[in-house]
Amino acid sequence: MNERYSAKEAAAALEISPATLGKYVMALEGAGFRFETGKRNARLFDEKELATLRRMMDTAASENMPPGQAANMMGQNAFLSIIDSRLCALEEQQTALLKLHAELDEKIARLPVPQRIPDYSPPPFLSFPLRKAGFLRFLSK
Buried b (16+ CB within 10 A) or exposed e, 94-118: eeeeeeeeeeeeeeeeeeeeeeeee
- The answer to whether residue 83 sits within a structural domain is no
Most trustworthy range by pLDDT among 69-78, 94-103, 105-114? 94-103
- The answer to whether residue 74 sits within a structural domain is no
When divided into structural domains, the chain yields a total of 2
Give the number of other CB atoms < 10 A from CB of residue 25: 21
What are the pLDDT digits (tens) for 8-58?
899 999 999 988 888 888 888 888 888 877 778 788 888 888 888 998 888
CA 40/CA 125 separation, integer angstroms = 50
CB neighbours of 28 closer than 8 A, spacing ≥ 6?
35, 52, 53, 56, 71, 74, 75
Mean pLDDT over each residue of the chain, to the nearest integer: 80
My answer on whether 58 and 14 are in the same domain is yes
Higher pLDDT, 100 or 140: 100
Higher pLDDT, 41 or 124: 41
Q: What is the pTM of this model?
A: 0.56
**Residue 23's domain is classified under what CATH number?**
1.10.1660
The domain in which residue 60 lies consists of 7-69
- The answer to whether residue 2 sits within a structural domain is no
**135, pLDDT greater than 60:** no
Identity of the amino acid at 65: M
My answer on whether 11 and 58 are in the same domain is yes
